[in-house]
């Protein structure tokens, strides 16, 4: 087949894929990105065979488990990129170890090509909705008051699983917005306890935190303010809402009382509470006659205050390195609890990082830019490659690796499949997450993705296909000259490959990928960001929060 014919087929398949779409109805085909149709046309037969084997296996497993699909525990760690955790041979050269995650890697499968989004909120959006964040209008939630967050129209994996009979429980960081529709309890979680914002508030802006080495110097009360007109342009965590909990259907703030200040001690207490509650939730959930989805997103290891606790001092000595060792123990405790409860064979445990290390604060935290170049916020591999393990005792091969490309959005579709809940996956919008159950149940090489589109916020910055990655040219520039990297040979994306060898074919094909990806958006446009007044639906707002909110409203376009 010559190139012309290939291109023709490709376009045909792509059109076909789009034409199958019809809004909303269940039972229809999921609308994947254009690229998927090309893979399906080439591999569909094999996938159909795989599907039979997968369905058979899942049915057997449900039968063994009293008709129920497996429980899910999903632990997502903040700002921990590839090589930071669960690889003691590697972390030992950086002066610490995470033995519990290293043990997990030997008990489960390592997804060695897991891609996330380049920062917290987008990764969490992708996991929850199965969609690239830009499609949902939620590309970044803020650390301060913002009035934005995940649209109620989005359908989360928590909603999908809940509808299929799961008990859904969220504990820890949420960071999908400070508006009511975005709260965990309004996005499918039956149990929910989480801070409204994130560590930008909780781990940095406390009065005592501002005096420590790393972030010293921002406290305005210690500096002359002659020219200050806006006294609210200051770090002020205590006026914002901190942690909230759902009790009898209502949401209450639980961490601060009127007049109290936020500090490192409270941040630690909040973290320890979430860990304690994750464990107690686990025990409660295991005692119910329902499958469960426990979504536990710790705030730690993010920490910028050196606590000098001798049991967690490391050779590295960085604030995050030390706390990583503690969090590793916490994860070990959860895995151990699953064993103790006797539910290991019915429980899928997933542990992973949410994006690369934030290089803006590497150094004192003990993190670094290593293996891959770049970190949080970057489209470079260092921003979006993380360690990820899946353990399912007796089902997933212990100590196995999968080199297949996996995107965090695939968890949405894959959990839906494992949870016997595929009918809940919406058919009226593009779902980027592809079903990767084959990798877990049949092993490496059974993946259904060879591409990732990497966005920074709403901007498409690079595209991965197989082992190649193109850094996108500026609009109007010829893709033949855009830099293309071989990720196996050049994981740090340092040396673009010879343009004369790769430009004419790969450059052109990459440009085609981008065109198809963008063309599908004409039919299914990205959702615009949603805006609402923050903190609605929280029962016990403190007076200082009310005041902060009033000032925030002053800055808005006055609609009334």
Q: How far is the CB of 485 from its own copies (least distance, A)?
A: 10
Q: Which is nearer to its own copies, 165 or 363 (CB)?
A: 363
Q: Report if residue 508 touches its own copies, rule: CB under 8 A.
A: no
Q: Which residues 313-342 are close enough to bind its own copies by CB under 8 A?
A: 315-318, 321
Does residue 17 sit in helix, strand or coil? helix
Q: Report if residue 360 touches its own copies, rule: CB under 8 A.
A: no
Helices and strands, number each (H, E), in the chain: 16, 17
Among 156, 368, 420, 509, binds its own copies (CB under 8 A): 368
Stretch that binds its own copies, among 6-14, 183-191, 491-499, 503-511 (CB under 8 A): 491-499
Whether residue 154 contacts residue 426, with contact meaning beta carbons closer than 8 Å, is answered with: no
Q: Whats the size of the chain, residue-wise?
A: 560
Q: Report if residue 98 touches its own copies, rule: CB under 8 A.
A: no
Residue 357 to residue 143: CA distance in whole angstroms: 18
In terms of Cα–Cα distance, which of 233, 265, 251, 86 is closest to 178? 251
Q: Report if residue 99 touches its own copies, rule: CB under 8 A.
A: no
Q: How far is the CB of 490 from its own copies (least distance, A)?
A: 6
Whether residue 508 contacts residue 484, with contact meaning beta carbons closer than 8 Å, is answered with: no
Stretch that binds its own copies, among 140-148, 272-280, 485-493, 506-514 (CB under 8 A): 485-493
Stretch that binds its own copies, among 88-96, 124-132, 188-196, 448-456 (CB under 8 A): 88-96
Q: Report if residue 312 touches its own copies, rule: CB under 8 A.
A: no
Among 9, 15, 21, 90, binds its own copies (CB under 8 A): 90
Q: Which is nearer to its own copies, 326 or 493 (CB)?
A: 493
Q: Report if residue 107 touches its own copies, rule: CB under 8 A.
A: no
Q: Report if residue 403 touches its own copies, rule: CB under 8 A.
A: yes
Q: Which is nearer to its own copies, 34 or 324 (CB)?
A: 324
List strands edge to edge, sheet with 71-77.
250-253, 243-247, 191-195, 167-172, 292-297, 71-77, 347-353, 388-391, 109-111, 400-402
Q: Which is nearer to its own copies, 100 or 370 (CB)?
A: 370
Q: Report if residue 370 touches its own copies, rule: CB under 8 A.
A: yes
Q: Report if residue 369 touches its own copies, rule: CB under 8 A.
A: yes
Residue 238 to residue 230: CA distance in whole angstroms: 18
Q: Which is nearer to its own copies, 13 or 359 (CB)?
A: 359
Stretch that binds its own copies, among 124-132, 256-264, 358-366, 536-544 (CB under 8 A): 358-366
Sign of CA dihedral 214, 220, 226, 229: positive
Q: How far is the CB of 369 from its own copies (least distance, A)?
A: 6
Whether residue 170 contacts residue 154, with contact meaning beta carbons closer than 8 Å, is answered with: no
Q: Report if residue 231 touches its own copies, rule: CB under 8 A.
A: no
Return the number of other C-beta atoms located less than 10 Å from residue 227's C-beta. Answer: 5
Residue 161 to residue 419: CA distance in whole angstroms: 7
Residue 42 to residue 47: CA distance in whole angstroms: 10
Residue 543 to residue 378: CA distance in whole angstroms: 39
Q: How far is the CB of 500 from its own copies (least distance, A)?
A: 12
Burial degree of 288 (CB within 10 A; 0-12, 13-18, 19+): exposed
Q: Which is nearer to its own copies, 83 or 147 (CB)?
A: 83
Q: Which is nearer to its own copies, 182 or 482 (CB)?
A: 482
Backbone angles phi and psi of 270, in degrees to 5: -60, -45
Q: Report if residue 492 touches its own copies, rule: CB under 8 A.
A: yes
Residue 235 to residue 237: CA distance in whole angstroms: 6
DSSP structural state of residue 430:
B
Q: Report if residue 401 touches its own copies, rule: CB under 8 A.
A: yes
Q: Report if residue 110 touches its own copies, rule: CB under 8 A.
A: yes
Q: Cα–Cα distances in Å, from 527 out to 32, 151, 152, 351, 455? A: 16, 9, 12, 30, 15
Q: Report if residue 185 touches its own copies, rule: CB under 8 A.
A: no
Whether residue 171 contacts residue 194, with contact meaning beta carbons closer than 8 Å, is answered with: yes
Q: How far is the CB of 493 from its own copies (least distance, A)?
A: 10
Q: Which is nearer to its own copies, 494 or 560 (CB)?
A: 494
Among 224, 257, 489, 559, binds its own copies (CB under 8 A): 489
Does residue 243 sit in helix, strand or coil? strand
In this structure, what token pair is assigned to residue 228? Answer: 């200050």
Among 87, 334, 343, 395, binds its own copies (CB under 8 A): 87
Does residue 402 sit in helix, strand or coil? strand
Q: Report if residue 92 touches its own copies, rule: CB under 8 A.
A: yes
| Binding mask of the shown chain, residues 438 to 477, with x at each position contacting its own copies by CB under 8 A | -----------------------------x----------
Q: Quickly list DSSP for 483-505.
A: -EEETTT-TT--SPPPHHHHIII
Q: Which is nearer to its own copies, 90 or 218 (CB)?
A: 90
Binding region for its own copies (CB under 8 A): 82-83, 87-90, 92-96, 105, 110, 112-113, 315-318, 321, 362-363, 366-371, 385, 401, 403, 467, 486, 488-492, 494-495, 497
């Amino acid at each position: 087949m010559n190139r012309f014919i290939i291109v023709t087929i490709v376009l045909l398949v792509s059109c076909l894929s789009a034409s199958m779409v019809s809004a909303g109805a269940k039972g229809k085909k999921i609308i994947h990105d254009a690229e998927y149709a090309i893979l399906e046309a080439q591999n569909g037969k094999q996938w159909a065979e795989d599907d039979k084997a997968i369905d058979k296996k899942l049915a057997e497993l449900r039968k063994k488990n009293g008709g129920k699909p497996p429980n899910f525990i999903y632990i997502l760690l903040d700002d921990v990129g590839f090589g930071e955790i669960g690889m003691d041979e590697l972390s030992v050269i950086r002066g610490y170890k995470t033995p519990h995650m290293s043990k997990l890697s030997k008990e489960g499968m390592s997804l060695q090509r897991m891609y996330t989004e380049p920062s917290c909120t987008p990764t969490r959006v992708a996991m929850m909705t199965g969609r690239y964040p830009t499609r949902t209008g939620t590309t970044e939630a803020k650390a301060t008051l913002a009035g934005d967050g995940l649209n109620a129209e989005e359908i989360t994996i928590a909603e999908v699983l809940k509808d299929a009979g799961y008990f859904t429980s969220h504990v820890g960081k949420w960071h999908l917005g400070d508006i009511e529709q975005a709260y965990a309890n309004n996005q499918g979680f039956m149990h929910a306890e989480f801070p409204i914002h994130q560590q930008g508030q909780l781990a940095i802006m406390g009065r005592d935190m501002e005096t420590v080495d790393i972030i010293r110097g921002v406290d305005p009360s210690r500096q002359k303010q002659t020219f200050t007109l806006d006294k609210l342009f200051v770090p002020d965590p205590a006026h914002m809402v901190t942690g909230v909990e759902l009790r009898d259907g209502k949401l209450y703030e639980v961490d601060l009382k009127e007049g109290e200040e936020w500090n490192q001690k409270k941040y630690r207490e909040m973290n320890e509470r979430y860990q304690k509650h994750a464990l107690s939730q686990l025990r409660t959930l295991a005692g119910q006659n329902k499958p469960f989805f426990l979504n536990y997103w710790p705030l730690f290891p993010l920490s910028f205050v050196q606590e000098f606790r001798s049991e967690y001092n490391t050779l590295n000595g960085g604030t995050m390195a030390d706390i990583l060792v503690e969090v590793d123990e916490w994860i070990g405790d959860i895995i151990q609890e699953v064993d103790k409860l006797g539910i290991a064979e019915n429980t899928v445990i997933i542990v992973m990082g949410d994006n690369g290390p934030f290089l803006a604060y590497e150094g004192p935290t003990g993190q670094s830019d290593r293996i891959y170049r770049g970190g949080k916020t970057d489209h470079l591999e260092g921003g979006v490659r993380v360690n990820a393990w899946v353990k399912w005792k007796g089902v997933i091969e212990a100590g196995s690796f999968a080199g297949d490309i996996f995107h965090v959005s695939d968890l949405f579709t894959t959990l839906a499949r494992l949870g016997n809940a595929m009918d809940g996956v919406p058919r009226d919008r593009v779902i980027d997450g592809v079903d990767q159950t084959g990798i877990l149940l049949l092993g490496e090489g059974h993946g259904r993705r060879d591409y990732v589109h990497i966005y920074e916020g709403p901007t498409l910055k690079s595209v991965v296909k197989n082992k190649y990655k193109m850094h996108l040219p500026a609009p109007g520039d010829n893709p033949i000259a855009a830099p293309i990297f071989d990720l196996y040979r050049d994981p740090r994306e340092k040396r673009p490959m010879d343009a004369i060898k790769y430009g004419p074919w790969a450059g052109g094909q990459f440009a085609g990928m981008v065109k198809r990806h963008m063309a599908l958006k004409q039919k299914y446009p990205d959702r615009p960001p949603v805006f609402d007044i923050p903190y609605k639906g929280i029962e016990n707002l403190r007076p200082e929060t009310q005041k902060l909110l009033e000032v925030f409203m002053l800055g808005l376009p006055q609609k009334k």
